Amino acid sequence: MPSLTIALAQLNTYVGDIPGNTQKVIQFATRAAAELAADVVIFPELTLTGYPPEDLLLRPSLDLRIERALGEIKAARLPLAVIVGYPKRIDGTLFNMAGVIQAGELIAEYAKQCLPNYQVFDEKRYFAAGDQACVFELKGVPTALTICEDIWHAAPMAQAKAAGAKLMLNLNASPYHQGKQAEREAIVAARAQEGAMPVVYVNLVGGQDELVFDGGSVVVDAQGQTQFRAPAYQEDVFLAKLDVNQHAVSVPAQNLTTIPSNHDAVYQALVLGMRDYVNKNRFKGVVLGLSGGIDSALTLAMAVDALGADRVEAVMMPFLYTSDLSKDDAAEQARRMNVKYSSISIEPMYNAFMAQLAGEFVGLKRDTTEENLQARCRGVLLMAISNKKGYLVLTTGNKSEMAVGYSTLYGDMAGGFDALKDVPKTLVFALAKYRNTLGEEVIPETVITRPPSAELAPDQKDEDSLPPYDILDQILALYVEQDFSAEAIIAKGFARDQVERAVRLVDINEYKRRQAPIGIRISQRGFGRDRRYPITSGWKMGD
């Protein structure tokens, strides 16, 4: 039986680097032809610009740069069909486009029809929607093109089927959140069954600011069964084969990589997001405050996994309230992970600040000001190391803390990247335990088992001022990620005082979050581009 050999290129693009992305396309396509003998290679959505290009799409030279890039791919005269994504302006209107280049010619183009404008997406800001199917001959098979969001809606598939297509190719830049792979495959299966044709789904891989793209490209047969799945989080070109006859295209069972477990998927997303942010922004390495607590311990482990121990520096910054256990645990983890480690006391700095502020503080009682000053001393030290060495400061606040403002502006929030920004505290503990199963136990057990504390006051514990994290995280998930009202959360059985306190803290701390470093999004609603609430607001808690 004749076959169609398809190369799925899970590319890690660099947003804005059109020449670099173009060369990558040519390199991967050359490999697909020479090493895999592929008939066609398919790249992700907006390959040439990277995704999301945001307001780079408004730059006056965009059209010229894209035209030049397409010209280079044509000039390479690659010995297979190349399907690639790019923006294209037609009669003054910009479209999110996919094109087919074969034998040095652009033989077909498709304009994305369904433009997402929710969560992290705002494509209607930039693009006009297409309205036509694109069906072309691929080794004798009538083949349709669609792009990302198109596959989440029935109309583009119905249109392609009506135009005679027997195979659907779908180019994607689908960002990760927990459970996303299963969601994608269910949607692709539904479309394949509706169209009675296989769907080849190719996804982007890599980190872009707060988004992570996890790959996991698939081929689904006409009955909706996934017959091929590429590895998650891996940049490479993968081969799938389809059988072709006069009446239909079928997909034999072939390589089916296992979907990672939730903790595995989250951990890989965080590591990849950190690695790409540091490397694509050309930082020499990273530095973080290692407190002996769970958040900084997990961040250190991820940093080493992302960058290697030689590019990571950890600094313990003890004060009067820092326990010996914290000091010992921090030093022990640094030893286990073989990173550069130092201990710099903040007591002289703190005392100098307090001496200078003595006149301002006369007659005023001690309060959180003194606690915050400790955190700000630490922030100054880390930023100085960053400036001197060209290292990015990693902050270590988790989603629970960011939600309720349990953090200090210009203190522990001082830095450039927060890998845990969308990771609730309960998940932080789970990920720390998971990381210790991957080999050597790099996070000391006492870090995981003892009660969390900021250690800014004697015998301080987080739960002195917050509900227990297993309760708090449930309340926050309902309020932050699902927009439940306070009363609706209380109706689910949570204590009124805990709910009202948590909701109030979320609302009044929006101003802090606007000044926080960016962090990796792993939920369906992270703090950042897809949760936008006003700082100044008269909205009252209640229904």
Burial 377-416 (b: 16+ CB within 10 A, else e): bbbbbbbebbeeeebbbbbbbbbbbbbbbbbbbebbbbbb
In this model, does residue 327 exceed pLDDT 70? yes
461 against 443, higher pLDDT: 443
**What pLDDT sits at residue 415?**
95
CATH 3.40.50.620 residue ranges of the chain are 264-462
272-304 core/surface letters (b: 16 or more CB in 10 A; e: else): bbbbbbbebeebebbbbbbbbbbbbbbbbbbbb
Q: How far apart are CA 231 and CA 234, in angstroms?
A: 6
The residue to which tokens 């991820």 are assigned: 302
CB 134 within 8 A of CB 156: no
pLDDT at 48 over 70: yes
Q: Give the tens place of pLDDT for each residue, 4-20.
A: 999 999 999 999 999 99
Dist. CA 452–CA 43, nearest whole Å = 45
State the average pLDDT over residues 112-125: 91
Position 429 pLDDT exceeds 90: yes
Task: Provide the token pair at 146.
Answer: 């669609």
| pLDDT tens digits, 227-254 | 999 999 999 999 999 999 877 899 998 9
In the sheet that 340-343 helps form, which strands lie side by side, from edge to edge? 340-343, 312-316, 285-289, 391-395, 417-418
Distance CA(214)–CA(276), nearest Å, equals 13
* pLDDT at 303 > cutoff 90: yes
Question: How far is it, in rounded angstroms, from Cα 49 to Cα 376?
Answer: 39
Cβ contacts of 73 within 8 Å, gap of 6 or more: 22, 25, 26, 29, 82, 84, 101
167-172 and 141-147 beta bridge pairing:
parallel
CA dist 346 and 380 (Å) reads: 10
Which run of H or E residues covers position 219?
strand 218-220
Q: What is the rounded average pLDDT of the residues 347-368?
A: 95
Residue with tokens 């962090």: 519
What top-level class would CATH report for the domain 264-462? alpha beta
Nearest to 146 by CA among 180, 175, 108: 108
- Res 536 pLDDT > 80: yes
Mean pLDDT, rounded, for 165-190: 96
| Average pLDDT value for residue range 148-176 | 96
For residues 143-158, average pLDDT: 97
> Residue 182: pLDDT band by 50, 70, 90 thresholds?
very high
* Mean pLDDT of the region 160-185: 96
**Dihedral class, residue 233 (left if φ above 0, else alpha if ψ from -120 to 50, else beta):** left
Question: What's the pLDDT tens digit per position in 371-393?
Answer: 999 999 999 999 999 999 999 99
Share of the chain above pLDDT 90, in %: 88
| Per-residue confidence (pLDDT) for residue 1, from 0 to 100 | 55
Residue 280 annotated in active site:
no
* Residue 313 Ramachandran class (φ > 0 left, ψ -120 to 50 alpha, else beta): beta
- The CATH architecture that domain 3-259 belongs to is 4-Layer Sandwich (3.60)
Summarised one tens digit per residue, pLDDT across range 200-236 is: 999 999 999 999 999 999 999 999 999 999 999 999 9
Count CB-CB contacts under 10 A for residue 142.
16
Average pLDDT score, the chain: 94
User: What confidence tens digit (pLDDT) does each residue in 70-109 have?
Assistant: 999 999 999 999 999 999 999 999 999 999 999 999 999 9
Domain with CATH 3.60.110.10 in the chain: 3-259
- Provide the 3-class DSSP secondary structure of residue 412: coil
**The tokens 């079928």 sit on which residue?**
250
The neighbour count for residue 249, using CB atoms within 10 Å, is 22
Instruction: Determine the straight-line distance between the first and last CA of the chain, rounded to whole angstroms.
Output: 63
Task: Give 175's strand partners.
Answer: 213
Helix, strand or coil for residue 156? helix
| pLDDT computed for residue 530 by the predictor | 82
Annotation says 148 is catalytic: yes
Record the pTM.
0.94
- The pLDDT value given to residue 533: 86
Cβ distance 163 to 194 under 8 Å? no
Please name which of 401, 403, 175, 174 lies closest in space to residue 299, comparing C-alpha atoms.
401
The single residue of 148, 166, 210, 377 carrying the catalytic annotation is 148
State both tokens at 506: 């979320």
> Structure tokens of 268?
């890989």
C-alpha dihedral over 240, 244, 247, 252, to 10 degrees?
-50
CB 1 within 8 A of CB 243: yes
* Residue 120 banded pLDDT, cuts 50, 70, 90: confident
Decide: helix, strand or coil at residue 48: coil
| Residues 305-326: b if buried by 16+ CB within 10 A, e if exposed | bbbeeebbbbbbbbbebbeeeb
Mean pLDDT of 456-474: 80
The rounded radius of gyration (Å) of the Cα atoms in the chain is 26
Q: Which residues of 46-57 are buried (b: 16+ CB within 10 A; e: fewer)?
A: bbbbbbbbbebb
Which residue's structure tokens are 């311990």? 297
| Catalytic residue, candidates 24, 45, 149, 512 | 45
Interval 176-205 mean pLDDT: 97
Q: Quickly count: other Cβ atoms within 10 Å of residue 485's Cβ.
A: 15
> Is pLDDT at 510 greater than 80 in this prediction?
yes
Using DSSP, state whether 112 is helix, strand or coil.
coil
Predicted pLDDT of residue 457: 67
- Residue-level pLDDT at 534: 84
Annotated catalytic residue, options 24, 88, 112, 425: 112
Which pair of structure tokens corresponds to residue 193?
């069954």
Q: Following DSSP, what letter does each residue of 220-242 receive, concatenated?
A: E-TTS-EEEEPPBT--EEEEEEE
| Residues 83 and 40 sit within 8 Å (Cβ to Cβ) | yes
Q: Residue 455 — very low, low, confident or very high, per pLDDT cuts 50/70/90?
A: low
Provide the percentage of residues in the chain whose pLDDT is more than 70: 98
pLDDT of the residue at 454: 67
Closest by CA position to 517, among listed 204, 286, 290: 286
Angstrom distance (rounded) from CA 42 to CA 150: 16
The strand pair at 417-418 and 167-172 is best described as unpaired
Q: For 312-326, what is the mean pLDDT?
A: 93
pLDDT at residue 413 tops 60: yes
Contact 230, 8 (CB under 8 A): yes
Determine the Cα–Cα distance for residues 157 and 187; give it in Å rounded to an integer: 12
Backbone angles phi, psi at 116, to 5 degrees: -70, 140
Q: For the purposes of burial, counting CB atoms within 10 Å of the CB of 248, is it exposed (0-12), middle (13-18) or buried (19 or more)?
A: middle
Please give the structure tokens belonging to residue 519: 């962090």
